[in-house]
């Protein structure tokens, strides 16, 4: 990887306005200087990768060093529907390889460094793969999204045997990204107290952090993911409305119908009828 080319790509990403990841597909990269720390975009179902770059020498790993104000943090939001199809071809959906990103990859570099000491993962190779994603995204040449799909899959394959929940507290950005990934992955069953217990935080703190960063409450974020998943199931399957309501976390259909109409301005039956009429 040419360092000057990588620096140009990072400058392009930092200069771009933040975008909201698309519904279930596509790829968004968000970059910012450490001194800025903007609010991260609200997430539709997606996988999340992140790393930090030295502003002057982006090829230099920041493992074991505190980032400086001009250093650059990059998040990659990868559409679940699109990337999961790639992963499905590489491993069974029940395998830890398939699910490791949603469970564990929102870690900062020191945690990866601890795993490296055990000889389980190569941080330079991970950084190289991520840097190729940055360049492909910034330059957008040809089938760049397909290139990113392959690189992201390689990143997961390399990291999955070694990623774990390391000790220490996460920063707010990393914690929010992890919480949003969990909400997107399990909207039918996720609870605030469950997340608080799993990651050892106070529920009130997590609730306030999500509202501050995303502008929505925990319940609103969960409801949005449930509605998006329900609409996808209505469009892509022959399952009954009652079954879909149950699958996305509703015991009965009356509340589901009301919330669905509030969100999309039409009933579940209308969404399905429009699909069948195509």
Residues found in the chain: 278
**Is the pLDDT at 263 greater than 60, yes or no?**
yes
Residues 144 and 39 reside in one and the same domain: yes
Instruction: Report, as an integer, the average pLDDT of 191-214.
Output: 85
Instruction: For residues 129 and 248, state if they share a domain.
Output: no
Q: What is the pLDDT of residue 185?
A: 79
Please indicate, yes or no, whether residues 165 and 198 belong to a single structural domain of this protein: no
Residue with the bigger pLDDT between 190 and 36: it is 190
- CA-to-CA distance for 49 and 149, rounded, in angstroms? 12
Question: Which of residues 142, 171, 200 is at a domain's end?
Answer: 171
Same domain, 43 and 109: yes
Q: Report yes or no on 176 lying in a domain.
A: no
Rounded CA separation 52/199 (Å) = 22
**Beta-bridge mates of residue 46:** 79
Residue 181 falls inside a structural domain: no
Q: Best-predicted range by mean pLDDT among 62-66, 101-105, 178-182?
A: 178-182
pLDDT score, position 165: 44
Name the DSSP letter for residue 93.
T
The range of the structural domain enclosing residue 197 comes to 186-278
- 199: in domain: yes
Question: Is residue 160 located within the same domain as residue 206?
Answer: no
For residue 25, is it within any domain?
yes
Number of domains within the chain: 2
CB–CB of 78/24 below 8 Å? Answer: no
Domain membership flag for residue 60:
yes
Residue of 73 and 119 predicted with greater confidence: 73
Residues 127 and 214 in one domain: no
For residues 134 and 242, state if they share a domain: no
pLDDT band at 105; cut points 50, 70, 90:
very low
Residue 256 in this model has a pLDDT that exceeds 90: yes
CA distance 27 to 32: 17
Contact call for residues 177 and 106 (beta carbons, < 8 A): yes
Q: Are residues 39 and 111 in the same domain?
A: yes
Q: Could you tell me if 150 and 224 lie in one domain?
A: no
**Alpha helices (H) in the chain, listed in sequence order:** 3-15, 80-88, 96-104, 109-117, 123-139, 144-159, 172-185, 192-199, 203-214, 218-236, 241-247, 253-264, 268-276
pLDDT by residue (tens digit) across 204-252?
888 988 888 888 899 999 999 999 999 989 988 889 999 999 999 998 8
Query: 10 Å Cβ neighbour count for 110?
Result: 15
Q: Residue 233 and residue 53: Cα distance in Å, rounded?
A: 39
Contact of 166 with 107, CB cutoff 8 Å: yes
Tokens of 182: 């969990």
Segment 63-76 shows an average pLDDT of 79
Is residue 195 a part of any domain in this protein? yes
Query: What distance, in Å, lies between the first and last C-alpha atoms of the chain?
Result: 47
Q: Is residue 61 part of a domain?
A: yes
If one compares 153 and 42, the residue with the highest pLDDT of the two is: 153
pLDDT tens by residue, 20-33: 554 445 678 888 88
Q: Are 102 and 213 within one domain?
A: no
């Amino acid at each position: 990887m040419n360092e000057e080319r990588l620096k140009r790509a990072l400058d392009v990403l930092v200069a771009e306005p933040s975008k909201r990841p698309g519904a279930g597909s596509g790829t968004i990269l968000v970059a910012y200087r450490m001194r800025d720390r903007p609010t991260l975009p609200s997430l539709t179902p997606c996988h999340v990768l992140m790393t930090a770059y030295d502003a002057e020498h982006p090829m230099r790993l920041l493992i074991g060093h505190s980032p400086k104000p001009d250093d650059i943090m990059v998040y990659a939001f990868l559409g679940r529907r699109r990337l999961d199809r790639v992963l499905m071809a590489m491993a069974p959906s029940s395998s830890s390889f398939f699910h490791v990103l949603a469970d564990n990859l929102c870690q900062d570099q020191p945690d990866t460094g601890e795993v490296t000491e055990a000889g389980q993962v190569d941080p330079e190779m991970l950084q190289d793969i991520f840097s190729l994603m940055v360049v492909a995204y910034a330059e957008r040449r040809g089938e760049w999204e397909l290139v990113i799909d392959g690189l992201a899959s390689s990143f997961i394959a390399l990291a999955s045997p070694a990623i774990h929940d390391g000790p220490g507290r996460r920063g707010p950005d990393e914690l929010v990204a992890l919480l949003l990934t969990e909400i997107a992955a399990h909207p039918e069953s996720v609870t605030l107290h469950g997340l608080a217990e799993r990651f050892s935080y106070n529920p009130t703190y997590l609730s306030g952090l999500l509202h501050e960063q995303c502008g929505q409450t925990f319940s609103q974020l969960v409801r949005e993911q449930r509605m998006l998943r329900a609409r996808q199931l209505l469009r892509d399957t022959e399952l009954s409305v009652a079954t879909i309501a149950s699958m996305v976390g509703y015991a009965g259909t009356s509340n589901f119908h009301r919330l669905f109409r509030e969100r999309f301005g039409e009933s579940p039956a209308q969404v399905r009828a429009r699909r069948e009429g195509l």
